[in-house]
Structure formats: C-alpha cells, structure tokens
Amino acid sequence: MSDLAHSRFASRETVLETIMKPLSYARRGARWLMAAGIAVAMMPALPAVAQDQAPATTSQAANPASRGINAELARIVPFFTKKGGQRSCDTVEYVLSFGIHGDPQDFDRPSVAALLKATRLDFRDQLPHGLQIVSVNVAGDGTSASGGPLPAASISTSAGPNDTASVSNFRISAANLDGAGAANERVITFRITAKIDHAAFPAPATVDNQGEIKVSLRGGPATTIPSQDPDKLD
C-alpha cells in the first residue's frame, strides 16, 4: 500500500499493494488442492493419472498426506502476486503474475499435466475508481481450454468506465511454453496499463486493490485465490 501521485516528479512511485486478507503459503496450497488435487484424488483416476500411480483407496482419501495420487500434487503450490507503478503523470501499470511452484520432475508427469488441463482458470481485476484501463497484455505458460494460445483479455465496466480486466477459461501449462523463468515454476503474466483521472486524484492518495483467480475443476465449485504483494509475503 502506498501513495498514488499524479505529479510528473513522482513518475516511479509505487502505486499500490496491500493485501486485505493474506493467506499463508501453506494455506494457499491447501486451497489449490481443495479445488483441484483433492477432487482428482476422490474420483476415478484419469487415464493419464493411471499411468503414474494407482487410484487412491478410501483410507488414503481420508488422509491428504498419504494419498498416493497426491504425492506429487502436494508439491505443486500456486502463487499470485501483483505490483503497481506510476509510469508517467497520466498512466499507471500493474503487473500480476499467477503461477505454480513445484519439483521440475513433477511437471513432466502425465498426472500433473492432466490435472492442470482439467483445471479451469478465470482472471479478473477491477481497478479502483479513477483508473481507466487502456490495455491488457497476457503472456506466459498458459493456453486456452482447447490447448491453443492464451485467450485475449477483455476490458469492461463495473463501477467505473473500463475499470475491469478479465481473461476467461484458460489453463496453466505443465510445459515451459515461453522458455523463460525457473525450471521449478510455470507463470502467466497479466500486464495492465491504466489512465489516471486527475479529478479523482487531486493529491497523492493511498490506493488498495487486488486481482483474483478463480479455480475450478471440471465444472465444479470455484475457489478464489487473491493476489498478494510480493514485498509483503506472509
């Protein structure tokens, strides 16, 4: 959380981050598994999963730590960060990074690839009043639901004109599609540029904001993962 200033002398000021309800790293992992890994372990094994390990028994399903199917899934932990910066006296830029950390060998497992392919992701970020989105760029280790390029972002109006960016029904890939980043992570980056309404910010102001990713497995209930300031980790 920091000041938004429209002075040209404050062109590199950090615009925001604050986290309203921070989640511990372990709890964020638990949320992800609740939405995806646990659901996979509790239903008949996918063909690709069966290539790796036998389906979980009833007793294993009651104990997440001992479920054979989740031995590698438990090591796949999501992260979602957001940073903002004022780029000129008239514009701000937000960079949100959604991804997963894991053992590099796990990303080669068919069970992990099948899980990620079956897990729908939806991104949404509504900016504060006084900021109007002019462009959204999405890139990284992601695909469409059918395995093609990442869907284009859309800009819509919620509380104010063009204040909301969204990307619907995409997937994060087990493959390192862009060839960048560490071997133990896969990342999708959302870059939002917005115009400042100086009437809404006549003086430096504190701005709070979060993006969100909704995670759902095969049409099941969605779990929301909020963004977090990487400088204010739990």
pLDDT of residue 72: 56
Of 124, 78, 61, 93, which is closest to residue 195 (Cα–Cα)? 93
CA angle 139, 125, 225 (to 5 degrees): 85
Tokens found for residue 93: 């830029």
pLDDT of residue 102: 87
DSSP strand pairing (205-206 vs 3-4): antiparallel
If 0-12 CB within 10 Å is exposed, 13-18 middle and 19+ buried, where does residue 14 land?
middle
The predicted-structure confidence for 97-125, as pLDDT tens digits, reads as follows 999 888 899 899 998 899 899 999 999 99
pLDDT of residue 47: 43
Residue spans per domain, the chain: 3-19+78-232
| Averaged pLDDT for residues 135-151 | 97
User: Is CATH 3.40.50.10700 the classification given to domain 3-19+78-232?
Assistant: no
pLDDT of residue 222: 82
Of 29, 61, 59, which is closest to residue 45 (Cα–Cα)? 61
Residue 43 predicted with pLDDT over 90 = no
Residue 228 DSSP class:
B
User: What is the band of 19 on the pLDDT scale with cuts at 50, 70, 90?
Assistant: very low
Where are any strands of DSSP class E within 48-145? 77-86, 91-101, 119-126, 131-140, 142-144
Residue 37 predicted with pLDDT over 80 = no
